[in-house]
């Protein structure tokens, strides 16, 4: 099972710079180095996506807890 940590407002703003334009990040997993986000796709319907973060990006998110 993946550990998902909800992002706070400061973490969301930081993470938006790492993701495709229009993405809305909502959670991350420090142990698996994944971040989850919603993205508008297919005629405006939202889809869920995820991407792997670098150790530095995880550190930056954790500093904003």
Q: What is the pLDDT of residue 3?
A: 87
Element (H, E) at 56: helix 55-63
Residue 8 has pLDDT above 80, yes or no: yes
pLDDT band at 1 (very low <50, low <70, confident <90, very high): low
**Can you give the pLDDT at residue 46?**
86
Split at pLDDT 50, 70, 90, the class of 2 is: confident
User: Tell me, what's the pLDDT at 14?
Assistant: 97
Dihedral over Cα of 46, 5, 65, 53: its sign: negative
Instruction: List, for residues 28-47, the tens digit of each pLDDT value.
Output: 999 999 999 999 877 778 89
């Amino acid at each position: 099972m993946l550990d998902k940590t909800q992002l706070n407002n400061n973490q969301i703003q930081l993470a938006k710079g790492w993701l495709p334009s229009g993405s809305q990040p909502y959670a991350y997993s420090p142990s698996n180095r994944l971040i989850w986000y919603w993205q508008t796709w297919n005629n405006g319907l939202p889809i869920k996506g995820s991407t792997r973060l670098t150790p530095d990006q995880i550190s930056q998110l954790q500093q904003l807890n």
